[in-house]
Chains A and B, each alone.
Chain A
């Protein structure tokens, strides 16, 4: 049964997943383009600044992959009003677990291509003195971020449309309240403290912050 679920999910998202996996492979290679310029006189500190800026793309790519695979797992079921799923001899929890497992297996493809890309990117040329490559650490960080994002998107997509609507409405109301407070001249900040909780340890999105670099000191 798992193979059948995996195959159907693969069929649904392969047209988007293959380019995404290719992008994951190319991103580390592109991020070290300026490394040659260090040999030609570019200061390593300046290289690291540019390299860290490009590193912002990794968490964005991870979130995009997670969204693609999570929505792809349920898109056809939602469109068909779950008629196909109801014909399967499965309990609902088991179906969710199978969809989840298939999604994780499919996510492993771009994760693996990114890891290979990291290894190849730093294998090509010797690093300037003082700089060190961290291909495994970056790949691990990418895995963690993608996993959290996948968990979030999968939970939202798996829930009912009403639950997703409530989550969205809550977010909009929260932002609107801040806008109203600010326009009324109030200095109260109800967004920043919550964001800080979410983005710092032990918040779920702590992994998305910090330095996303393949090469560092």
Chain B
């Protein structure tokens, strides 16, 4: 029977392979025609490519401005990422004219908006930031927009463990804003590790920030209360078997159900505290470390994150976390201790204005 079947199967396989080959050739041909069409269209629209280091900037017109902006952007990226830039893939950034509607392009041809496209396997998805550069913007603004867009992809490329812990490169968010958001999270979180961290337990601050040897091992590294809190996060949108496990975990308090849910799949970077507290720690480490802090942070991607952050800051791990906690706590004081100052200003200015009113009044 096998002897009879095998020649038939062999013929079918050959036919299938020929068909696949034919289809592949047609796909390649279509791809080539699409690329040809795009290049013709781009040439017609006046697209020019400027290459500087890892950057490939495509713009319409304004070549001189684009080149100057690229130079500045690359200098900024080199200052931030240092030698790590040498190991990254090229980043393609296209400055597209803003479309005013019905396909109408800005007649001046100036790059009004930046749309960022990544080439190849630079990073999954597209960047979260979509910088906008207004018409007639100076070179510095265009450079800042390019650097900002590129740094997100570069951050992912140069250090995936770090990007997994904090998905975006350090941005220029004021420390006071980050500290305020961090304090809100510390106070309102339902994670036991976060409450303990707020109370000064630095070991729990590691847990709260996800600075663990194996961040994916939620069951092995977090207390039962925290595992339940993780499940509460997963509860929304749970259906089928997962919904049953969520119910057993949260309503019946069955710890096995909680753990089964958390062990069931890789949840990615599940961290009790959100992005702002992590960004505050990162920017604090870079600020404390001064010149060369980023280079020290990126120098040993194989080392645990707490050690790398401490090395960047030139502090011990506990000292760095202590300063982070103090910054967050101080943000509360800044919010609520200003009543005497406000009272002084209010009474002072209103007395001045009332006096002015009394002195300047005339019968009319």
* A19 contacts the other chain (CB 8 A): no
Q: Do A160 and B343 touch across chains, with their CB atoms under 8 A apart?
A: no
| CB within 8 Å of A: which B321-364 residues | 332, 335-336, 338-339, 341-343, 345-354, 356-364
A-B contact pairs, 13 of them (CB 8 A): A44-B187, A92-B361, A100-B354, A129-B188, A150-B350, A151-B349, A151-B354, A152-B353, A154-B354, A158-B358, A160-B360, A163-B360, A206-B345
CA distance A118 to B299 in the complex (A): 54
Among B188, B339, B348: residue with most chain A CB under 10 A: B188
* A11 contacts the other chain (CB 8 A): no
Q: Do B346 and A96 touch across chains, with their CB atoms under 8 A apart?
A: no
Known A82-B363, A159-B360: A151·B345 in contact at CB below 8 Å: no
Q: How large is the interface on B (under 10, 10 to 19, 20 to 34, 35 or more residues)?
A: 35 or more
* A126 contacts the other chain (CB 8 A): no
Residue in A41, A131, A201 whose CB lies within 8 Å of B345: A201
Q: Do B360 and A148 touch across chains, with their CB atoms under 8 A apart?
A: no
Q: Give A residues with C-beta under 8 Å from B.
A: 41, 43-45, 48, 78, 81-82, 85-86, 92-93, 95-97, 100, 128-131, 134, 137, 140-141, 143-145, 147-148, 150-152, 154-155, 158-161, 163, 185, 187, 201-204, 206-207, 210-211, 216-217
Known A45-B185, A45-B188: A141·B136 in contact at CB below 8 Å: no
* B183 contacts the other chain (CB 8 A): yes
Chain B residues in 8 Å Cβ range of A41:
232, 236
Residue in A100, A134, A201 whose CB lies within 8 Å of B357: A100
CA distance A86 to B332 in the complex (A): 54
Q: Do A140 and B343 touch across chains, with their CB atoms under 8 A apart?
A: yes
* B184 contacts the other chain (CB 8 A): yes
Q: Do B362 and A48 touch across chains, with their CB atoms under 8 A apart?
A: no
Chain A residues in 8 Å Cβ range of B357:
96, 100, 151, 154-155, 158-159
Q: Do A207 and B184 touch across chains, with their CB atoms under 8 A apart?
A: no
Q: Do A161 and B364 touch across chains, with their CB atoms under 8 A apart?
A: yes
Task: A85-B363, A130-B189, A140-B342 given; name 13 further pairs at CB < 8 Å.
Answer: A44-B188, A45-B185, A48-B188, A92-B361, A92-B362, A96-B357, A131-B188, A147-B350, A151-B350, A151-B354, A207-B345, A211-B335, A216-B335
